[in-house]
Amino acid sequence: MSYDPQNIFAKILRGEIPCDKIYENGHALAFRDIHPKAPVHVLIIPKGAYESSSDFSEKASAEEIAGFMRAVHAVAEQTGVLDAGYRLIANTGANGHQEVPHFHVHLLGGRPLGAMLQAGR
């Protein structure tokens, strides 16, 4: 699978579609999820064209990875969830239920989130 430059997050990065921006640095952009599942639900995406978590971890430079992770921390700090805690999710591929083929991490918080997954094999 090759990166699709017409995916919705690529359009947000190019400014073709608006977003509720929370934070931006040289390597990452963070904005509120359009369908929030918690009081705080922010998506953090790299500015580079990476389709998934695997693609990003395999191919991104050390600077891109550092910039991305710093953005995750900045969002946690800015949204006030550092002390109470929060959850990071990176849905990847078909079994991971990844809908948008541009790597993104969901940062969720603002209430107790319960167990990570329902039991099941």
Q: Are 44 and 65 in contact (CB under 8 A)?
A: no
Residue whose CB is less far from ligand DGP, 5 or 63: 5
Q: Hey, what are 83's tokens?
A: 């002390």
**Active-site annotation, residues:** 104
Q: Where are the beta strands (DSSP E) in the chain?
A: 21-24, 28-32, 40-46, 86-89, 105-109
Residue whose CB is less far from ligand DGP, 16 or 63: 16
Question: Can residue 91 be called a binding residue for ligand DGP (CB under 6 A)?
Answer: yes
State the burial class of residue 70 (Cβ atoms within 10 Å of its Cβ: 0-12, 13-18, 19+).
middle
Stretch that binds ligand DGP, among 56-64, 78-86, 91-99, 110-118 (CB under 6 A): 91-99
Question: Can residue 7 be called a binding residue for ligand DGP (CB under 6 A)?
Answer: no
Stretch that binds ligand DGP, among 55-63, 79-87, 92-100, 108-116 (CB under 6 A): 92-100
Question: Can residue 74 be called a binding residue for ligand DGP (CB under 6 A)?
Answer: no
Closest separation in Å from C-beta 12 to ligand DGP: 6
| Residue 39 φ/ψ, nearest 5 degrees | -55, -35
